[in-house]
Amino acid sequence: MKRTITNEELKALLDARKDVTILDVRRKADLDVAAEAVPGAPWRDPDKVDEWSRDLPKDKNVVIYCARGGSVSNKVLDRLLEKKIQARYLEGGIAAWKAAGNPTEKPK
């Protein structure tokens, strides 16, 4: 499985109602200034990935995203992959998701 998923691929999964877990892993400071999030994506503290990742299914697709799809997503993804969780990160993060005109909601 590749490390990333595009906006188009994620939107297609959501439109098809595929079973996917989406998590917002932005830094708290980025989250605090954000007005939008991917629908249904709860926030998880990227610095506490070892704690919350225990509850993630290993047989389900997981998509994470941060502000711009860079260092935060890569760091969290590495930890999830080490735990054998089927995860990818959203290319370009929430910034690219919004720029593509995809639906958003208030952060959770």
> Among all chains, which residue has been given the structure tokens 């990160």?
89
**Is 88 inside any structural domain?**
yes
As for how many domains the chain has, the answer is 1
**Is 93 inside any structural domain?**
yes
**Is 83 inside any structural domain?**
yes
d(C-alpha 52, C-alpha 46), whole Å: 9
Containing structural domain, residue 77: 4-99
**Is 104 inside any structural domain?**
no
Overall average pLDDT of the 8-18 stretch: 90
**Is 9 inside any structural domain?**
yes
Segment 50-97, tens digit of pLDDT: 999 999 988 889 999 999 988 999 999 999 999 999 999 999 999 999
**Is 107 inside any structural domain?**
no
Using CB atoms within 10 Å of the CB of residue 37, give its burial: 0 to 12 exposed, 13 to 18 middle, 19+ buried.
buried
**Is 81 inside any structural domain?**
yes
Which tokens is 26 given? 């932005």
Q: 67 and 24 in contact (C-beta within 8 Å)?
A: no
**Is 106 inside any structural domain?**
no
